[in-house]
Structure 1
Amino acid sequence: MPPAEKKQSRGKYTTKACEECRRRRAKCDGKKPSCSRCLQWSISCQYSSTEDGRRPASKSYVDLLRQRIQFLEDFLAKRGLDPDAETSLGEDSAELSYMEALCDQFKGCLALDESLNFDADGEMRFFGPTSGRLQFAAQGVSPEKDSNARVEPEPLASTAYDAFVPTELETHLIDLYFAWEQPWYQIVDEDLFRDSMANRGRYFTPLLLYSILAMGSRYSDRIETRTDANDPNTAGRFFLEQAKTLLHREMERPSLTTIQALGLIGMFYIATGADAAGWLHHGMANRLSLDMGLNLDPAAFEGAVSMSSKEMQLRRQIYWTLYCHDKLSASYTGRVCSMLDVQGAVNLPSHAEASCSRQQTILSLQIALIRICQVHERILMSLWAPKPSLNQHQRPAFLELCLLDLKTWLYDLPPALRIDQPNPLPHAYTLHMVYHTARILLAKPFTVRHQSAAHDADASGGAQTPTQARSVSTDSARAICAIAQKYRQHFGSFRLSPITATHCTLSAATVLLEDIAGGDMLPSQKSRLEVCVGVLDELAGVWQPARRIGTNLRRLLRTRYNLTLLPGSRAESPLQATADDLSAPSAGLDLDFVDEWNPAFLSPYAEGLPAALGLPPALDSLPVDYGLFDMLNRTNLDRMW
């Protein structure tokens, strides 16, 4: 046969064969829904959704990599450095040893003994070299005890809370919390908490329990969780008041569980629309994390203090949870970041401690969220800070770099967190919404329609940059709407979604509104805005800010575009995102994350849990500032939104 005929007869290569052709080791043309061989023999043709390691990178991803390599080579060449030159290993080793020795000189320590830790409360506190206290520990010097030292209050009876909450209700709310809130905001380790709760261990306190019950109540439709049976926004309020009473006492002797409770109380305040109080309590949690050295990896203190592997993992988990919340909260409020990556040196949580597939998936979720929040921080600090770290000439290169970093993050996601196939983990969809929100925040400074934006583009020589940025933000806004549709298909609604979906949806709606030209709205634009309003309506059941944002967005659409969207409206046709954004493969996991309960359940607690139990309000024992923060938030809510 002539060479030309051989070339023509060669079959088409495919990167992935069907399961039947794999089993028979036969050639497969990769056609879908059925390959030619299976069609010929009337065999069921199926393709595996698992990762086979041969999936090629997308063209846009390869182009970004090439641009990045070229940029780095040009950068080195301008400074007289040869990109191809090899660095001496000996010099690297010497430099590394020098840096390690230098770091050793500035190490602090976690202290229990009262020569450093003057609180002497049995909790480890961190002290650095500038404190001047480290020499006391080295010399074994112990300060004299103050004769007027405070007497610690007696701890609450371990069963004091048992009389307040029916066991069935307590179990129900704890399960709801760990099913819907904890996977996204992992400030509590489920295994440690449940084990300590059963054995009265150190990782359980009544304060932490009431904080968990308060957050769990936000996800429950049961009437007895409300202080006002007709107001869903009062769900969990009774548990919050109990937690605040205990917090007032525990702040005198804070521990790891105090940090966890502060984070949950702060999240509860945000859920009810009290942003100022939420910001305050998260700030206290952040400060205490520094006090206890959570911003330094516990492995650095190995040998100096006794710490189990589970406690080390918990410290890392708490730190990174607060770090991620700081970035998401900074975007949500438009404020500065208060926990910077450079201020901590903590290893990522390890899969070694995960004992089952569910824990593995939840841990992968946290690691992925950490990594994208690190990119998030760079975007906020470089483009959105009061004093941005980049000037106008550096911004186009930064845009290309961050787009590459975000694309790399998406490309490296494990199959358990991908959503091109139905994913049983609802928080995976929220994770992808965060990814697209980061792209919008990155591109937005280049698309703002005012004179300075055009001036910056001309001055930096990046005439193509605004066009590219508009394309990035528009594609991501559409992708967020498509992800919302996929979420609804699999889970019904956003009723139990984390609050992060609120800001993601608002970011998408803002871009969609900016893309409306001349006030004429296309049917596709209307459908996407209907999706955004519908998502906010569904989130409003748990998160009060979503209710107010949805109301304001609906009012804006009515006044500016004469578009009236009724509560609960949904887009008439499904939306599709760009293939490049949602094409990463995923593998389904048989995990049960959805908890069911009876929303029509009525009980003797219809007048609210405190009244039914005959308990007095818990506010009398609190300092005035708690009531002040609540009053300020209620007064300023309308002005804030």
Structure 2
Amino acid sequence: MNPRETSRRLPPLAPGPQIPILPISTAIIRPKKNSTACLACKQSKKKCTGPPPPCKTCEATEGECIFDETLDRRRKVAVKRTIDELEYHKDVLHSLLGFLRSADPENIARLMAVIRTNASLEDIVTAISQNIFDYPRFTSPLCRNCADIDEREAQLSPLSTESNQRRSFVSLEKLCDIPLFRVPAKPWTSVTDDDHLVSHLVSLYFTWDHPCSQLIDQKLFLEHMVSRNTDSEFCTPFLVNSLLSVASAYSDLPEVLAVTHGVNSCGQHFYDEAEKLWKAEEGRATLVNIQGILLLGCFLEAQGKPEAGWLMIRQAVQLAQDFGIFQVPRIPYRNPRAISADMQHVAALTAWGVFILNCQMSMTLRKIANLGRPIFWPYAQKHHSDGIAWTPYPRSNQIECTSRPALLRCVMTELIKLMEIAWEIHGLLFERAFGSDPGDIWAAASDFHRRLQNWSRNLPKALDIDDQPVPQVLFLHTVCHQKIIALFSIFVESPDFAFTPHPSLSKQAEGIRYQSAKEIARFLAIQRRFYGLKHIPYHMLEATRTSLLALLPDLESDESVEAFAELCQHIRAFSTRFKSAKDAIEVIKSTARKLCIKLPIGVASLLDDPGTYADHAQDLHG
């Protein structure tokens, strides 16, 4: 049969079902699985939408949404944290063994008493750190945030008996430390080639020391230090080493000690390097040399060598007069008219730095100031220093590491005004008072008192004691009251003055001194509350010492005892870093014995036993 015919006979096929063709884009997409849940969702066992915070659950409940990846043991960050914790426990063990080998029986007994109270590891570490102030400190890596790091400290291991070399354990605080300013170590110093250490010290100096005593221009100094140009007019190896010697006292790193475990050797190697470089200068009068000599004078004073520091300051005075910065600033072999605006600014800043330090130290040591005021203003025109910010450094020093205006121009301007009054007070105390009528001297002192009060009342709004003032603002107020205490010291019976005031004048003078001392304690309490006792500008030490001596005769008053205890905390904190503070404590104790004054038990313990310092400080403030 013909195939064509066969096809004609077959019945037609019925249409089949329509099969839809799915587009490729409609493939099934599985929901993304979140590997991290926030702490709130974990606690309530709810499904979490994952980071970034807030997750949907916390957003709906308006709760705090925190993601902590370190809790997930599968992650590298958790492994790193475990390693850090193991290293920390290893360091604590080494410190404990070293302490047991080297400490005296009394300190060992005190530590054992802490251990037997089922104290935590952190409490044991704190006990070790409080009992040995001669050991450098490092911070526990368990303290993950700024709030925890402030009070938790431990000790480095002492010298190894096998190798006779110092074993130092690098802390997490040092590893995570980010200096405010990055500057090179070379070619500025031969003491170290560690850029981080030098950057750390420079950052400490411009945070805690410089704002209260502006001997150099911060911005110009840093710019020229970064350039590595040793022929700079604003930065030289001599100036850098002088600065590093002063800054070392604010650091807890072991590298700042010239002698292992010798806290009194802090910054000594930088000082020795600066001294060697100064000898090579052969007395050449330049701005950087004047600035370096001023810093060395401050270093010696802080190390408990005030007479040597005074000689250094007087040497800076002579150099400044030779250079001409107390008249028209000039640079040898150059046309004075060609001096740049930056050089004029730094010259005026240095001149006032010489004047202020000379006036302050001469009043402390009861020397003749013998120096007139400079004629040029350091901030005569708008300057780049106006935009500098101030941040607490290191960042572990306090909870909220916020940047605030440094107020350098404003602080320096008001400090100059204050020191001009202080310079006239110096003349009254050490020149006019001898052989003069007590009534006339009282009238002059009362006039100075009114001027100091007017200075305080007329401070710019920027220098008000606000919610969280920067330390240099508190410093200004403490200096004002320190000058009031010094002003009326001549009316208090003292063998230091050949002057016999009327008893009624002595009583009035004592009342004024007590009030100013309490005000200084109040300002220092603000400093402690916001920035702790770990870092306090050294320039507040003299006000602290003066206030303690002024309050000694008034310890029958509860208000005076409270202020005295506050001041004791600060001078004890100073004594862990500055030899001059240790000497001041001995003067206070000897004066109390001489006057037959019995110190309150808690306060006496603060001054007598460094090991119990932190415990009593906490008790006094609840």
Normalising by structure 1, what TM-score?
0.58
Aligned to 1:375: 421
The 1-side partners of 2:192 and 2:526 are apart by: 41
* CA offsets 1:250-283 (integer angstroms, 9 cap, x no match): 1343311111111111111112112222112111
Aligned to 1:426: 471
> Counterpart of 2:225 in structure 1: which amino acid?
M
1:475 aligned residue (515, 533, 542):
515
Aligned to 1:311: 343
Aligned to 2:370: 338
SS in 2 for 1:229: coil
The 1-side partners of 2:361 and 2:490 are apart by: 19
* CA offsets 1:473-492 (integer angstroms, 9 cap, x no match): 12111111112212111111
Aligned to 2:80: none
Aligned to 1:138: none
Of 182-191 and 548-557, deviating more is 548-557
SS in 1 for 2:235: coil
Aligned to 1:271: 302
Aligned to 2:353: 321
2:248 aligned residue (217, 220, 240):
217
Aligned to 1:106: none
| 1:293–1:299 CA distance, 2 compared to 1 (3 A) | closer
1:349 aligned residue (350, 370, 379):
379
User: Contact 1:211 / 1:261 at 8 angstroms: preserved in 2?
Assistant: yes
Identity of aligned residues (%): 21
- The residue correspondences of 1:54-453 to structure 2 (distance < 5 A) are 159=187, 161=189, 164-199=192-227, 200=229, 201-298=232-329, 304-341=336-373, 344-350=374-380, 352-353=382-383, 354-356=385-387, 358=389, 361-385=407-431, 388=434, 391-419=437-465, 421-448=466-493
> Counterpart of 1:328 in structure 2: which amino acid?
Q
The 2-side partners of 1:553 and 1:387 are apart by: 26
Q: Measure how far apart 1:434 and its partner are.
A: 0.9
- The residue correspondences of 1:522-537 to structure 2 (distance < 5 A) are 522-537=557-572
* CA offsets 1:433-485 (integer angstroms, 9 cap, x no match): 111111112222233379x9996449xxxx6x545433321211111111221
User: Contact 1:351 / 1:363 at 8 angstroms: preserved in 2?
Assistant: no
Q: Measure how far apart 1:314 and its partner are.
A: 0.4
User: Contact 1:530 / 1:571 at 8 angstroms: preserved in 2?
Assistant: no
The 2-side partners of 1:449 and 1:283 are apart by: 28
Q: Measure how far apart 1:190 and its partner are.
A: 1.3
> Counterpart of 1:184 in structure 2: which amino acid?
C
SS in 1 for 2:605: coil
User: Contact 2:490 / 2:499 at 8 angstroms: preserved in 1?
Assistant: no
| 1:315–1:389 CA distance, 2 compared to 1 (3 A) | farther
User: Contact 2:482 / 2:516 at 8 angstroms: preserved in 1?
Assistant: yes
Q: Measure how far apart 1:532 and its partner are.
A: 2.3
The 2-side partners of 1:300 and 1:281 are apart by: 22
- The residue correspondences of 1:9-20 to structure 2 (distance < 5 A) are none
Q: Measure how far apart 1:556 and its partner are.
A: 4.8
| 1:171–1:360 CA distance, 2 compared to 1 (3 A) | closer
Normalising by structure 2, what TM-score?
0.60
The 1-side partners of 2:541 and 2:386 are apart by: 33
The 1-side partners of 2:531 and 2:560 are apart by: 24
Count of residues paired in the alignment: 406
The 1-side partners of 2:341 and 2:451 are apart by: 32
The 2-side partners of 1:434 and 1:266 are apart by: 20
* CA offsets 1:170-203 (integer angstroms, 9 cap, x no match): 1111111111111112111111111222331321
Aligned to 2:545: 506
| 1:249–1:557 CA distance, 2 compared to 1 (3 A) | same
| 1:177–1:264 CA distance, 2 compared to 1 (3 A) | same
User: Contact 1:540 / 1:547 at 8 angstroms: preserved in 2?
Assistant: yes
Q: Measure how far apart 1:497 and its partner are.
A: 2.5
| 1:389–1:368 CA distance, 2 compared to 1 (3 A) | farther
The 2-side partners of 1:204 and 1:226 are apart by: 24
Aligned to 1:589: none
SS in 2 for 1:182: helix
The 1-side partners of 2:234 and 2:210 are apart by: 16
Which fold has the larger relative contact order, with Cα–Cα distance below 8 Å and residues 6 or more apart in sequence? 1
The 2-side partners of 1:398 and 1:386 are apart by: 10
Aligned to 1:553: 588
Q: Measure how far apart 1:349 and its partner are.
A: 2.7
| 1:448–1:574 CA distance, 2 compared to 1 (3 A) | farther
* CA offsets 1:507-559 (integer angstroms, 9 cap, x no match): 2122212335xxxx343333222222221111112321111211342455478
Of 247-256 and 565-574, deviating more is 565-574
User: Contact 1:540 / 1:546 at 8 angstroms: preserved in 2?
Assistant: yes
| 1:216–1:371 CA distance, 2 compared to 1 (3 A) | same
Aligned to 2:527: 487
Structure 1: unaligned runs, 5 residues or longer: 1-156, 576-641
> Counterpart of 2:547 in structure 1: which amino acid?
A
The 2-side partners of 1:258 and 1:299 are apart by: 15
1:570 aligns with 2:617: yes
The 2-side partners of 1:266 and 1:485 are apart by: 29
CA RMSD of aligned residues (A): 3.2
| 1:160–1:267 CA distance, 2 compared to 1 (3 A) | closer
SS in 2 for 1:432: helix
| 1:555–1:304 CA distance, 2 compared to 1 (3 A) | closer
The 2-side partners of 1:501 and 1:160 are apart by: 30
User: Contact 1:447 / 1:453 at 8 angstroms: preserved in 2?
Assistant: no
User: Contact 1:174 / 1:216 at 8 angstroms: preserved in 2?
Assistant: yes
| 1:469–1:160 CA distance, 2 compared to 1 (3 A) | closer
User: Contact 2:327 / 2:375 at 8 angstroms: preserved in 1?
Assistant: yes
| 1:304–1:533 CA distance, 2 compared to 1 (3 A) | closer
| 1:289–1:409 CA distance, 2 compared to 1 (3 A) | same
User: Contact 2:435 / 2:499 at 8 angstroms: preserved in 1?
Assistant: no
User: Contact 2:293 / 2:312 at 8 angstroms: preserved in 1?
Assistant: yes
Of 422-431 and 301-310, deviating more is 301-310
SS in 2 for 1:570: helix
Q: Measure how far apart 1:390 and its partner are.
A: 5.8
Q: Measure how far apart 1:317 and its partner are.
A: 0.4
